[in-house]
Structure 1
């Protein structure tokens, strides 16, 4: 159980709620934001003393599933936030300690069978582990990059400051950065001893004020992005459907970018395929 992070997470969720959000009277002016600790305790059907100890990181024992369920209900947590609460409290299934970075051969083969769809496999720490030729043409040639350079979180927050450079000219760069922070918050809770994960977060907090600010919000799991627009220097604007398919056994995601058949963006992807093939042929 990560007592300090558990307490900080509870406090951040409590401070975002107002009495009227949970059916309580507002009462006189409050000196601090959000609900009072005793109000959360009453709503969760636990003692105020115990809840205070949880928030202050002083609880002697791990809270039970029933207690956590009561707290999740009192704080109006989403399913993702409730899962995160259980992870911090040590009641979620334990991971091995290190991220899985090997991609299943069947997934690698699937990437190559999708010539009209750009596809990448990313780890829970936003490492690009595998890609197909169209993804390399749409985004960049990942094969010539170091592992750190293939990390989308590093690219989003520590990449070049030129207007179109940081994230392939995508239209939702700010939203993607928020998504990265929320996902990494969950990843750190699941893999607290993985040096790559903890080192990544430390580098981002030290190197990016924007990341450090978003990190302190302690939000987890953003809404999925259904469409994305790339601005490519060779073919212009490419609007694609974005589908992230979870690979639960390895805690990875297969991210697919596709466009409706016959659309201008589908034509642009087809042109990228041709340009990529020509580039590979000339490189041989």
Structure 2
């Protein structure tokens, strides 16, 4: 159980909810953003003292019944609810996280000749990729493993502005950090994930700002524009699919509208990879 993270998460979600959202009277002038602690306790059906101790990081291990009640009181989305349970000690066993990629997934991405595809682990390390993904995102093969981390790339790469504009980078960065926070809750004892978070908090004020928002959301689909130095802009739908029986791995696909300029750009890029 991560008491400090749980306390911060509860505070951040409480501040987001107003009395009007949950049918409580606004009443007199309020000094606290969002709900008061006693209001959350009332909505969840628990004692005020118990909830205060949770927010102060000194509470007991909450039961599943209490967590469900808090999730309802704070109007948590599904991903936020899952994150709440992870922070309270209902996390996936960290020993289940492995870095090997199943052969079937390796075969699949090799067959996707016109679709950039790669495999991410929970730490956002790119573990496997097909030639078109390498052509679109840069020479992955000759990079050291530390440079194949998407979080480091989006917040620290010197050439990021040449690939993603400010709007694209901002949306992608926010979604990635929200997803990384979910992974941090799922694997609280994973030293690699926790080390990456600590590194980025020290390295990037932008990362620290987004991390402090306590947003949690598993990445599933996102539109993205990637500007390639040769074929130009590629507007793609970035699909993030879970790998069966592997909670720690995701398959990422970049698909373009058939017949579109972006589809043609990917075909041109593929021809260049075959001829080089």
The reply to whether TM is greater than 0.5 is yes
| Cα distance in structure 2, aligned partners of 1:261 and 1:273 | 15
1:82 pairs with 2:78 = no
| Cα distance in structure 2, aligned partners of 1:170 and 1:206 | 22
Q: CA shift at 1:171, angstroms? A: 6.2
Q: CA shift at 1:213, angstroms? A: 0.9
Per the alignment, do residues 272 and 98 of structure 1 end up closer, same or farther by CA in structure 2, a change over 3 Å counting?
same
Q: CA shift at 1:35, angstroms? A: 0.8
Q: CA shift at 1:243, angstroms? A: 1.4
Q: What is residue 250 of structure 2 aligned with on the other side?
A: 253
User: Which of 274, 277, 280 is matched with 2:274 structurally?
Assistant: 277
TM-score (norm: length of structure 1):
0.91
Q: What is residue 262 of structure 1 aligned with on the other side?
A: 259
Report if the CA contact (8 A) 2:179-2:219 is conserved: no
Secondary structure of the 1:178 match is helix
Report if the CA contact (8 A) 1:172-1:228 is conserved: yes
103-112 or 241-250, larger mean C-alpha shift: 241-250
Secondary structure of the 2:253 match is strand
Q: What is residue 113 of structure 1 aligned with on the other side?
A: 111
1:231 pairs with 2:227 = yes
Secondary structure of the 2:84 match is helix
Q: What is residue 101 of structure 1 aligned with on the other side?
A: 99
Q: CA shift at 1:246, angstroms? A: 0.8
| Cα distance in structure 2, aligned partners of 1:239 and 1:9 | 35
| Cα distance in structure 1, aligned partners of 2:77 and 2:45 | 19
Q: What is residue 43 of structure 1 aligned with on the other side?
A: 43
Per the alignment, do residues 148 and 223 of structure 1 end up closer, same or farther by CA in structure 2, a change over 3 Å counting?
closer
77-86 or 191-200, larger mean C-alpha shift: 191-200
Gaps of 5+ in 1: 280-284
Q: CA shift at 1:248, angstroms? A: 4.7
| Cα distance in structure 1, aligned partners of 2:96 and 2:24 | 44
Q: CA shift at 1:122, angstroms? A: 0.7
The Cα RMSD (Å) is: 1.8
User: Which of 195, 198, 217 is matched with 1:199 structurally?
Assistant: 195
265-274 or 142-151, larger mean C-alpha shift: 265-274
Q: What is residue 142 of structure 1 aligned with on the other side?
A: 140
| Cα distance in structure 2, aligned partners of 1:24 and 1:188 | 34
Per the alignment, do residues 43 and 171 of structure 1 end up closer, same or farther by CA in structure 2, a change over 3 Å counting?
closer
Q: CA shift at 1:154, angstroms? A: 0.2
Secondary structure of the 2:234 match is strand
1:68 pairs with 2:67 = yes
Per the alignment, do residues 244 and 190 of structure 1 end up closer, same or farther by CA in structure 2, a change over 3 Å counting?
same
Secondary structure of the 1:31 match is coil
Q: CA shift at 1:91, angstroms? A: 2.7
| Cα distance in structure 2, aligned partners of 1:151 and 1:136 | 14
Gaps of 5+ in 2: none
User: Which of 209, 213, 221 is matched with 1:213 structurally?
Assistant: 209
| Cα distance in structure 2, aligned partners of 1:268 and 1:4 | 48
Q: Which has the higher helix share?
A: 2
